[in-house]
Structure 1
């Protein structure tokens, strides 16, 4: 036994049912070798990667229709990786990343569960540079601004890994730290278009969810 329990969940995205193995509930915890603790993952945070959150569904829905042709895509804090699975199903060039020690195994299992090729995965800590990760045309994430320092950490990842011409797409349930993140991206030349979105079937206007789409156009070459 792995020390935690799981269940199967079906999530419809764009008319297709994605079958996912997720943790049974938010009380699951198993860190026998202390790997998660050394990465800074507390017992209260440990199970968060293994759930499908409303912002994650919102991001997956956005990626179902987003123009990804010819773009190299990075998902940050992928967790179960639903958005990356949707992109993989579309044939996109996507790299999923997370720092949780079990994210890679769950992602591989769920890709196989949906008859998809294995995804390219990298374990990534936002506070530790990883030059071999390279640069991306599109960086995506869902509900990653839930602590004050996350805005700075995420903006630093964007600075290291976004192409000169790039897009950033975040889904956010209305947390206050997104304003700070937006200001930081503005200093990198990104402009924001924000769309209010329902987070779930019971969400009524004014919606709590937001799809934050940042774009940066490379400066014109000097003649």
Structure 2
């Protein structure tokens, strides 16, 4: 395995240096346009977004809460927050819809020397993991389309144990409120935990303000 590629992200977060390998985005776009359902395969997963950086900071703050607990990284992408959760002492399962994302997540597991995450290919519209398996769920930047709201809400309600909590980080997109508006239909409550400016790893001058929401199951 190559020590470094031009697509790697090397950055500091939560007191650790992280080495996250990404795919060649140009090649991903070429592959996507060859697929019949291209809209379902936009490679959002191939980046460390500001929401993931904010979520990482929150997980570090909540280390005592997640240590030893069954936790699910929902839409884990390249695996950064799943690996960070494991590094903090959580028992982490990480799922993503895209098998290619998990290929890179497993590479990043090796590059960062943090074994033990359970990587699962899963579509939140058709869950296969056992219901009520997790004490905590976290996700970064998963609400890109209005149609995601119902399956995300249903998935969180299904996967959380009674009394469990989910944390979702999002960059203040209006579309996120479609999810908030239907959580009560799934017997979930929510509150805004915090918001903070995050400097992106990409070439962007202005920080991105990220909200972190807590979703609870009674």
TM-score range, shorter chain: 0.7 to 0.9
Q: Cα offset for 1:134?
A: 5.2
- Corresponding residue of 1:213: 214
2:150 paired with 1:152: yes
In the superposition, the TM-score normalised over structure 1's length comes to 0.81
Deviation at residue 25 of structure 1 after TM alignment: 3.8
Q: CA deviation at 1:113?
A: 0.4
8 A contact 2:11–2:19 mirrored in 1: yes
Q: Which moved more, 1:172-181 or 1:89-98?
A: 172-181
**Which structure dedicates a bigger proportion of its chain to helix?**
2
Q: Which residue of 1 aligns with 2:21?
A: 21
How far off its partner does 1:118 sit?
4.0
The structure-2 alpha-carbon separation of the partners of 1:162 and 1:44, relative to structure 1 and needing over 3 Å to count, comes to closer
1:96 equivalent in structure 2? 94
Distance 1:100 1:133 in 2: 21
Q: Which runs of 5+ in 2 are unaligned?
A: none
Structure 1 CA distance for aligned equivalents of residues 89 and 31 of structure 2: 34
Deviations 1:20-42, CA, capped at 9 Å, x for gaps: 1112446634649x7xx47x454
Gaps of 5+ in 1: 219-223
Aligned-pair CA distance for 1:89: 1.0
What is the root-mean-square deviation of aligned Cα atoms in Å?
A: 2.5
Hey, what's the Cα distance between the residues in 2 that align with 1:149 and 1:61? 29
Whole-angstrom CA distance in 2 between matches of 1:118 and 1:94: 8
Larger displacement relative to structure 2 (48-57 or 182-191):
182-191
3-state SS of 1:22 partner = coil
CA pair 200-167 structure 1, distance change in 2 beyond 3 A: same
Distance 1:62 1:53, change over 3 A: same
Cα shift readout 1:167-223 (whole Å, capped 9, x = no counterpart): 11001011112222123223414231331211327556xx6311111233x4xxxxx
Q: Stretches of 4+ moved more than 6 A in 1?
A: none
Deviation per CA, 1:3-49: give whole Å up to 9, x if none.
Answer: xx8622112111211111112446634649x7xx47x454971x321
Deviates more, 1:51-60 or 1:106-115: 51-60
Distance 1:145 1:89, change over 3 A: same
Partner of 1:59: 55
Count of equivalent residues: 206
On the 8 A contact 2:91/2:117 being kept in 1, the answer is no
